[in-house]
Structure 1
Amino acid sequence: MLSGRREIGRTDPMLLTEKVAGPRVLLLAGRNWRVTWIDWKRRRCFVEPSDLPGKARWFGAAVGGTSFELSRACRSVLLGESPEVELTDRAVRGLAEARDDDVGSVHPGGLVISRDGEDVRWWTWAGYRANAVLAATLAGVTDEKQRFQDDWIRLRSDLTRDIWRSGVTDAAERLCLPDVDERALRGLKFSEALPERLAMATLAARLADLENAAAVLDEPVRFMG
């Protein structure tokens, strides 16, 4: 990210493609920045200071948030698996606390759908790119804003087992690419030479994890809460 000629830092490309209402504002280096231009060819994002609240995301090695493999490794640890390294007493206590805090998000018998009032979440532990595909594919069971993170997808508040079964039937055979903001096409190489719909599909395909999204849909699900 650049403000003028000054480099601010790096951000997750997924934050530059998500649909947003109004200006796209990011949080980085303790300040809020409004995106003014994206140069996909040179992998540069130009910004200017903003008073609007910004959004941040940890930048991992994978494009688009945490990878499937890293997310699943986190789930394994929460289920009791310990890293094959010597842990300090502090690390052991930290793992124990994390397992207690997240007891409702994992189960050895399958993935969890948790309910806390109207907050219903499907704990996929699939990574951001796979969850982006799942949220787009299961539009009938996700909440209307398709909110999701690396490890969960928010579902409609009135979800029942019947609605869930109906929504996921044959879903692996009709996977959808994630939605991207049309403004993200600015600066994409050859975007002006392509129909807008094709250009958006090209960008969405780069950010999708179809293989692992399909694998998640084959896993058993347990309703909790």
Structure 2
Amino acid sequence: MPAVPRTRVSRERVLRAAVDLADMSGIDAVSMRNVAAELGVVPMALYKHVADKEDLLSGMIDLLIAEYDPAGTGEPWRDALRTRILSARSVLSRHQWARAVIETRRTRTPAVLEYMNDMTGLFLEGGFSADLTHHAMHALGHRIWGFSPEAFEDDDALPVPDDPALRAQMIEQVRAVYPHILTIALASSDGDDVTAGRCDEDFEFAFTLDLLLDAFERLRDAGWSSR
């Protein structure tokens, strides 16, 4: 009887299996044991390719960075930055677990450093000083990875009753106590129904990104310096 061929395991296969598992079942499902099961091997087989769970998570982010659209050759600095950052956001939307992992990384892999180096280089090649580039990268912060540091998530919003009468009563109570919050809530809603409109997170992200890029450009043209 012919021998059953052994499963070939590589670092890329381990990382890809972990990404697929996280996409399907969430990041909490990703463990050395579960990834090994996905590959049909014993957990110890993974340690030849990833040092530990932290190395596994960092490697998963490296795979996502490889999905980012590259900047076009000769593309203006602003267009190139915008393309890469919006591409990072698109990748993040396909891998909902990634934000939490990015926020917990304490070491920077070569892939992470290369991406940050490329982003910094786009500023410098666009005529920005090293000083202004330094502060611009700080201002962008997590936006280079495709997400904004929002103060509150949508889940933190006040629950809105389904009953129209109770909803109208709630709106009047909010109007009396928090009129300014209601004003901006109604601005993005249909008429007086605060439940009819929701923030378009992609629009808000691009809006803020464009504001920042406009400000960076004005500072560059003015010869701004932190000193």
Q: TM-score range by the shorter chain?
A: under 0.3
The structure with the largest helix share of the pair is: 2
Structure showing greater relative contact order (alpha-carbon pairs closer than 8 Å, 6 or more residues apart): 1
Rg: which structure is higher? 2
The structure richer in strand per residue is 1
TM-score for both structures, normalised by structure 1: 0.21
TM-score (norm 2): 0.21
